[in-house]
């Protein structure tokens, strides 16, 4: 494999794109990453503590570029164990995750397409894949070597289960265990406002249910459960937020292809 392409990558500073979404919510993503791995970090200010949902790839430094994100005793929740959601986890004192995914002992991951797809797809990377081999289009600082990327385990992982409640002080988010994309996929749901942080269970694009660890039957059951909730707004693992009507369209389209 040739890693020489990294030598010519530009430096992108800042690494993260930070957008304020209103009501104390901030959407953070990594624009210099392949769409395959370009995931959201959601940071919600709470009265007593903050909520951080997912942590990005771990290529850029969240704590430096997003001042304050680790200061209000945040509950840092990983929606599942894939690298684009967990890479920045070691920057926090502890994270919460469902034990169904290997968060505490992650696979190494890679910023090289073939190596990553060998890890994520049951049949390995497809032959004759003509997509760009490198999954970043820039580096966060001079000297950063994409070939040295390894997913590191969090400092501490506390398990969460379906029905657990995360209390920010006056706002309560319930953990929903919704396996299918991965065994340990969870969403966070605030019943009072119909707010859903959905991770990779639902976003407005093709849903992945054939990865290593995916389970189509479980995904179907999870989607049916999700569509029974009174959801007003979805903050997904990939792409921008959407409303409950769009959630139902995406969910029903998925179910139509799988049932």
82 binds Zn ion (CB under 5 A): yes
**Binding segment toward Zn ion, per CB under 5 A, in 42-50, 77-85, 108-116, 167-175:** 77-85
Look at residues 40, 33, 79 and name the one whose alpha carbon lies nearest to residue 59: 33
Number of residues this chain uses to bind Zn ion (CB under 5 A) = 2
- Give pairs for 29-33: CB < 8 Å, separation 24+: 29/56, 30/56, 30/57, 30/59, 30/60, 32/136, 32/137, 32/138, 33/57, 33/59, 33/84, 33/135, 33/136, 33/137
For the CB of residue 255, give the shortest distance to Zn ion in the complex, in Å. Answer: 20
Q: Do 94 and 154 meet the contact criterion of CB atoms below 8 Å apart?
A: yes
177 binds Zn ion (CB under 5 A): no
For the CB of residue 200, give the shortest distance to Zn ion in the complex, in Å. Answer: 4
* Rounded-to-integer distance, Cα 119 and Cα 102, Å: 13
Binders of Zn ion in range 130-169 (CB under 5 A): none
**Binding segment toward Zn ion, per CB under 5 A, in 17-25, 100-108, 139-147, 196-204:** 196-204
Look at residues 30, 99, 65, 50 and name the one whose alpha carbon lies nearest to residue 238: 30
98 binds Zn ion (CB under 5 A): no
**Binding segment toward Zn ion, per CB under 5 A, in 81-89, 94-102, 143-151, 221-229:** 81-89
Match 């020489």 to its residue by tokens: 4
ω into 14 cis (within 30 of 0): yes
For the CB of residue 73, give the shortest distance to Zn ion in the complex, in Å. Answer: 27
Q: Between 82 and 177, name the residue whose CB sits nearer to Zn ion.
A: 82
For the CB of residue 40, give the shortest distance to Zn ion in the complex, in Å. Answer: 12
Intra-chain end-to-end CA distance of the chain, in Å? 41
* Rounded-to-integer distance, Cα 189 and Cα 187, Å: 7
Residue, CB closest to Zn ion: 82
Buried b (16+ CB within 10 A) or exposed e, 186-217: bbbbbeeeebbbbbbbbbbeebbbebebbbee
For the CB of residue 20, give the shortest distance to Zn ion in the complex, in Å. Answer: 25
For the CB of residue 48, give the shortest distance to Zn ion in the complex, in Å. Answer: 30
- Pick from 29, 200, 209, 215 the residue near Zn ion by CB under 5 A: 200
**Binding segment toward Zn ion, per CB under 5 A, in 59-67, 98-106, 127-135, 193-201:** 193-201
For the CB of residue 114, give the shortest distance to Zn ion in the complex, in Å. Answer: 18
The residues binding Zn ion (CB under 5 A) are: 82, 200
């Amino acid at each position: 494999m040739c890693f020489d392409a990294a030598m010519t990558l530009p430096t992108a500073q800042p690494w993260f794109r930070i957008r304020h979404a209103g009501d104390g919510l901030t959407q953070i993503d990594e624009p210099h990453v392949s769409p395959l791995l370009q995931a959201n970090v959601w940071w919600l200010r709470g009265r007593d503590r903050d909520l951080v949902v997912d942590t990005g790839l771990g290529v850029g430094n969240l704590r430096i570029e997003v001042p304050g994100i680790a200061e209000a005793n945040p509950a840092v929740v990983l929606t599942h164990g894939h690298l684009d959601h967990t890479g920045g986890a070691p920057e926090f004192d502890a994270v919460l995750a469902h034990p169904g995914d290997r968060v505490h002992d992650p696979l190494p991951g890679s910023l090289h397409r073939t190596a990553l797809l060998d890890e994520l797809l049951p049949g390995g990377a497809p032959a004759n894949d003509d997509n760009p081999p490198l999954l970043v289009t820039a580096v966060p600082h001079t000297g950063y070597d994409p070939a040295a990327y390894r997913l590191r385990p969090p400092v501490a992982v506390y398990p969460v289960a379906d029905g657990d409640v995360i209390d920010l002080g006056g706002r309560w988010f319930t953990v929903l265990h919704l396996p299918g994309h991965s065994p340990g996929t969870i969403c966070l749901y605030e019943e009072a406002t119909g707010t859903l942080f959905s991770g990779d269970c639902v976003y407005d694009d093709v849903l992945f249910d054939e990865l290593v660890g995916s389970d189509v039957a479980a995904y179907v059951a999870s989607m049916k459960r999700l569509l029974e909730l009174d959801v007003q707004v979805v903050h997904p693992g990939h792409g921008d937020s959407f409303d409950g009507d769009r959630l139902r369209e995406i969910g029903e389209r998925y179910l139509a292809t799988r049932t």
